[in-house]
Structure 1
């Protein structure tokens, strides 16, 4: 089975990773709802929200899946450290060159991409999928309140994994490896994103909360 799946990743990187990513994002939301449920105002635990899981599946399949393939498989491996001159590359060992190139890729991947791409995309897409009247305002408010906290938490989780991923994992398997590692991370993101205290504000006090509008997805 692994051999067949490995061949699919090589032949159809976008389609195969999109299918895998969607399943794992949905699974992460399922874990969040099961282990970290948000209580109603009366203290009761709401029923399982299948629409919320479906939104996470859609995000993983149609947004993060293809974007991660483009970044981790098509773009990041081609980056070279611009601070290493050509003269040095002609004399250094391949191991030393790889060290500096991987270090540069890791800095770009962790310092810029999460805060500028992944976190905003997650909030905007999942908020828009609720089909609210003012989804961009809700997404903006959510980013204002939790962008930095999520980003700093990301820096405590992902750099160490990405060192291993960018150094030892074959290029066509890097998105899959990141997705399996991110099951717990997806659980965290889903829990934070759907927290009722995450987006309460005076600006949006008249906008219905995300959890209460989940049924509008269908």
Structure 2
């Protein structure tokens, strides 16, 4: 088993070095899909053979085309914005603050709008959903992400920050899937 893990780790490192955006987009896609499957099967108690595969595909597509590339860009930008010539915890605190007070509020709007449009909602319905769900999602974000981002920015190398976040995000994605996955017909 350890040989397989070494091969996977080596392959991942190579893919990340050669194709960083694509690698992180694919990992975000897989983990967002996993979060939706967990939400449907483990929380909503939907049998595996009855999963809403369209819903899983929508979350996976957002991971591939929006979340992965956006996070890759954002973390690279943060790395350039915050000087590393400081004590590590100060760098982490500054990055986490920028992430949580600038990026997160805007990204929640973008993500919620994107999934809503993918689900066939019109603009008026999307705005209504944002009005009803945004504050709750943002508050829940603040229960999970500030601590996770402090750890991420303090000890995780830049190339692995999206992976770390996506691993934590399996829980977050499960929550988002529960909150935004079901469109009332």
Equivalent of 1:34, from 32, 41, 54?
41
Q: Residue 44 of structure 2 aligns to a residue in which SS?
A: coil
Secondary structure of the 1:112 match is: helix
Normalised to the residue count of structure 2, the TM-score between the two structures is 0.87
2:174 paired residue among 176, 184, 187: 187
Does residue 79 of structure 2 align to residue 69 of structure 1? no
- The match for 1:130 is 119
Higher helix share: 2
CA distance in 2, matches of 1:159, 1:103: 9
Long gaps (5+) in structure 1: 40-46, 82-88, 196-209, 213-218
C-alpha distance in structure 1 between counterparts of 2:184 and 2:39, whole Å: 14
Map 1:67-216 → 2, pairs under 5 A: 67-72=70-75, 74-80=76-82, 94-96=85-87, 98-117=88-107, 119-132=108-121, 134=122, 136-195=123-182, 210=183, 212=185
- Cα distance in 2, alignment partners of residues 172 and 211 from structure 1: 39
Match of 2:57 among 54, 62, 78: 54
Do 2:91 and 2:154's aligned partners in 1 also have CA atoms closer than 8 Å?
A: no
Aligned partners of 1:158 and 1:20: how far apart in 2? 19
Mapped partners of 1:80, 1:21: distance in 2:
25
- Counterpart position of 2:4: none
Deviations 1:30-60 (A, max 9, x none): 0111123299xxxxxxx42110001001100
Is the contact made by 2:33 and 2:60 (CA closer than 8 Å) also made in structure 1? yes
How many Å apart are 1:106 and its aligned residue? Answer: 1.3
Instruction: State whether residues 28 and 166 of structure 2, in contact with CA within 8 Å, keep that contact through their aligned partners in structure 1.
Output: yes
Residue of structure 2 in register with 1:202 after alignment: none
Distance across 2 between alignment mates of 1:38 and 1:112: 36
Looking at structure 2, the residues matched to 78 and 49 of structure 1 have their Cα atoms a distance apart, in angstroms, of 41
Q: Which residue of 1 aligns with 2:10?
A: 3
* Structure 2 stretches lacking a partner, 5+ long: 1-7
RMSD: 2.2
State the TM-score, normalizing by the size of structure 1: 0.74
Distance 1:95 1:75 in 2: 17
- Distance of 1:80 and 1:177 partners within structure 2: 20
Structure of larger gyration radius: 1
